[in-house]
């Protein structure tokens, strides 16, 4: 049972780590356009993202695919930038027109990219472990729990700013997405250009 908590906490810390905040930035721009009433849609998008993350981690751990760490990390920021830009260009427009299937496919694809970025670290921490499947599932549960925490925080902040401080949904989405976009561009500029 103690092994479960080790890998669960690793998944939790992977998302909530202040030094690797790319995951949180992605979750912010993924969630900021939604309200509490959209919780089912958000839940499915985040869960499919976790499934994609786990699939690429699995494929990389068992050496089916390999991507250079630097390339995978750059692609993570591309997903953040793409999602932030999507939010900016669609803010104030009805998100209900976007079919859930398209959102789920994009979330799965972006999850695959994010999983690749973490695969080298996961290989290192499980190098002495005979079967990596169970630790990977425990790790994925930790990721999912942390993502739900981040999503709830974003939804609560969205609610507070839109009801108490009277931000329009459009302005809230544009401001938060623009801040995340600026951070992502800055990190790409410092680390990859």
Give the start-to-end residue ranges of the domains of the chain.
Answer: 2-192
pLDDT at 96: 54
pLDDT at site 95: 55
Is the per-residue pLDDT at 17 higher than 90? no
pLDDT above 60 (res 1): no
Looking at the whole model, is its pTM more than 0.85? yes
Residue 77: predicted pLDDT:
97
Q: What pLDDT is attached to residue 129? A: 86
User: Per residue in 115-160, pLDDT tens?
Assistant: 998 888 788 888 888 888 899 899 889 999 999 999 999 999 999 9
Residue 119 and residue 61 in contact, taking contact as beta carbons nearer than 8 Å: yes
- In Å, how far from its chain's centre is CA 125? 21
Torsion (CA) 117, 109, 51, 155 in degrees, nearest 10: 90
pLDDT at 52: 96
CB 63 within 8 A of CB 120: no
19 DSSP 8-state letter: G
Decide if 87 contacts 174 (C-beta within 8 A).
Answer: yes
d(CA 178, CA 182): 6
Summary mean pLDDT of the chain: 91
pLDDT at residue number 130: 85
Residue 179: predicted pLDDT: 98
**Nearest-10 crossing angle of helices 69-90, 100-125:** 150
What span, in angstroms and rounded, lies between the C-alpha atoms of 161 and 68?
A: 40
- How much of the chain, in percent, has pLDDT values that exceed 70? 96
| Mean pLDDT of the region 67-92 | 94
Distance CA 84, CA 157 (A): 17
């Amino acid at each position: 049972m103690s092994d479960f908590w080790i890998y669960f906490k690793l998944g939790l810390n992977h998302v909530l780590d202040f030094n690797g905040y790319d995951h949180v930035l992605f979750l912010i721009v993924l969630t900021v356009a939604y309200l509490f009433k959209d919780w089912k849609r958000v839940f499915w998008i985040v869960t499919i993202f976790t499934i994609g993350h786990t699939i690429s981690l699995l494929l990389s751990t068992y050496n089916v695919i390999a991507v250079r760490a630097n390339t995978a990390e750059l692609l993570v920021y591309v997903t953040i930038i793409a999602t932030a830009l999507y939010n900016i260009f669609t803010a104030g427009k009805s998100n209900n027109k976007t079919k859930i299937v398209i959102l789920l496919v994009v979330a799965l694809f972006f999850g695959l990219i994010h999983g690749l970025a973490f695969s080298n670290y996961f290989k290192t921490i499980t190098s002495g472990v005979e079967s990596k499947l169970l630790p990977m599932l425990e790790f994925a549960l930790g990721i999912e729990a942390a993502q739900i925490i981040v999503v709830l925080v974003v939804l609560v902040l969205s609610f507070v700013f839109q009801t108490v401080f009277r931000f329009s949904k459009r302005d809230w989405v544009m401001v938060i997405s623009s801040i995340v976009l600026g951070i992502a561009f800055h990190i790409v500029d410092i680390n990859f250009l």
